Amino acid sequence: MNPDLKRLHPYPFERLRALFASAPADAGYEPISLSIGEPKHPTPAFIHVALTEALSGLAQYPSTLGSLELRGAICAWLTRRYGVAPLDPETQVLPVTGTREALFAIAQTVIDRSARQARVVCPNPFYQIYEGAALLAGAEVLYANIDPEQDDAVDYASITPAQWATVQLVYTCSPANPTGKVMTLEDWRLLFALSDRYGFVIVSDECYSEIYCDESPPLGSLEAAQRLGRTDFERLVCFTSLSKRSNVPGLRSGFVAGDRRILAQFLLYRTYHGCAMSPPVQAASAKAWADEEHVVLNRAQYRQKFAAVTPLIQSVLATKQPEAAFYLWARTPIDDEVFAQQLHAAYNVAVLPGSYLGRTSQGHNPGRGHVRLALVAPVQQCLEAAERIVRYARSI
Ligand SMILES: Cc1ncc(COP(=O)(O)O)c(C=O)c1O
């Protein structure tokens, strides 16, 4: 067996299941889950139609590169959304079967195991796939803590020049899971300068880019690169998903775009990895990227939930309206694991302890003392969950 499998950490939801199993919930309450970030709004009907109308495509093997129709729709979307100069659909974009697999696979493509030390930087707290990808690529992980003093920005200054010299890949997540923090142009300038100096690849996870308050669309990495004169997107690859934007987490559809030299190698890797997108999924995805109306309606539903829930949670826990994404990141007055366990036992509401999303680095786990609330359930359920959280927090 691959010994690196032993280096993997248990997934947060496995830990949550074990935590809840040790103190069963009061069955007098309907269960409400705010723990998993799975979109729950209905999939738009036109995507169902596009998928079924393309079922004849099941009779062909798809190419890893995907159809030109899909790549063209993605490039057109990138230009509409970010104002970037049109990307070349032949070399600067690739479809992926959900960003999860692609965020994993990119590390297998980029990491050079023959280096004396190969390191990957992850924000902390973070989406656990980054860490597993790094470990299975034979790399070590450096955890760069978010800094509440800097409005939850990632503290890259904590990494020493000697450490940077060994870094081959940096994962960024903007808008961030769990804080909703969006990287600024200044943040990108700093990271690009570090990449120029040390030669690492930046993997920018932007799967929450379309969940925001309509007045302020988050800055994207390709947009930032172009505004800073990096028109070839040197050492930058951006990952975007339909799962949250179009409420299709089961479709498994996203894309990667950016540096064509990296994408050529990624295409080679993916040809062997065998993760080409099914033709009906490609057809439905092209239609989804071409439509914005459903995305605007989707955002309106999240806005309604934040407006209803945030003030209630703020009456008992320190939290703020995030810049983007669909999470509230709230401080707990007691240990976050105990908070989540007692809340579940007393009121049958599942929230995720922040410490499960982080690792101890620089002497502490920056997720500790927080819980993540995913506002994915219908508004009435989110509201009911918030009322139960208020009752529980007042009883502590
Ligand atoms: C930060 C982050 N990145 C990527 C993903 C994966 O999304 P998908 O594989 O559905 O594109 C998730 C899923 O929850 C996520 O939270």
The conformation of residue 333, written as its DSSP 8-state character, comes to: S
Distance 7 CA to ligand 1 centre (A): 22
What is the rounded end-to-end Cα distance, in angstroms, of the chain? Answer: 47
Question: With contact defined as beta carbons under 8 Å apart, do 308 and 382 qualify?
Answer: yes
Atom number, ligand 1, closest to the C-alpha of residue 254: 11
Q: Where are the chain's structural domains?
A: 3-42+294-395, 59-291
Count the neighbouring beta carbons within 10 Å of the beta carbon of residue 115.
Answer: 12
Compute the 3-state secondary structure of the chain and give helix, strand, coil in percent, each to the nearest 5: 45, 15, 40
Distance 302 CA to ligand 1 centre (A): 17
Write down the pTM of the prediction. 0.97
Fold assignment, 3-42+294-395: Aspartate Aminotransferase, domain 1 (3.90.1150)
Distance 244 CA to ligand 1 centre (A): 8
3-state class of 230 per DSSP? Answer: coil
Distance 100 CA to ligand 1 centre (A): 6
Atom number, ligand 1, closest to the C-alpha of residue 205: 3
Count the neighbouring beta carbons within 10 Å of the beta carbon of residue 54.
Answer: 18
Side chain identity at residue 223, one-letter code: E
Question: With contact defined as beta carbons under 8 Å apart, do 145 and 158 qualify?
Answer: yes
Taking the C-alpha atoms of residue 52 and residue 168, their distance in angstroms, rounded to an integer, is 42
Which of 36, 203, 207 best tests ligand 1's pocket when mutated (most atoms within 8 Å of CB)?
A: 207
Question: With contact defined as beta carbons under 8 Å apart, do 107 and 120 qualify?
Answer: yes
Atom number, ligand 1, closest to the C-alpha of residue 252: 10
Side chain identity at residue 180, one-letter code: G
C-alpha Rg value of the chain to the nearest Å: 21
Distance 28 CA to ligand 1 centre (A): 33
Which of 243, 256, 352 best tests ligand 1's pocket when mutated (most atoms within 8 Å of CB)?
A: 243
**Token digits of residue 290:** 């071409």
Atom number, ligand 1, closest to the C-alpha of residue 249: 10
Q: Digits of tens for pLDDT over the chain (396 positions)?
A: 999 999 999 999 999 999 999 989 988 999 999 999 999 999 999 999 999 999 999 999 999 999 999 999 999 999 999 999 999 999 999 999 999 999 999 999 999 999 999 999 999 999 999 999 999 999 999 999 999 999 999 999 999 999 999 999 999 999 999 999 999 999 999 999 999 999 999 999 999 999 998 788 999 999 999 999 999 999 999 999 999 999 999 999 999 999 999 999 999 999 999 999 999 999 999 999 999 999 999 999 999 999 999 999 999 999 999 999 999 999 999 999 999 999 999 999 999 999 999 999 999 999 999 999 999 999 999 999 999 999 999 999
Distance 206 CA to ligand 1 centre (A): 9
Pocket, ligand 1, Cβ cutoff 6 A: 37, 98-100, 127, 173, 177, 205, 207, 241, 243, 249, 254
Taking the C-alpha atoms of residue 161 and residue 142, their distance in angstroms, rounded to an integer, is 13
CATH code, 59-291 = 3.40.640.10
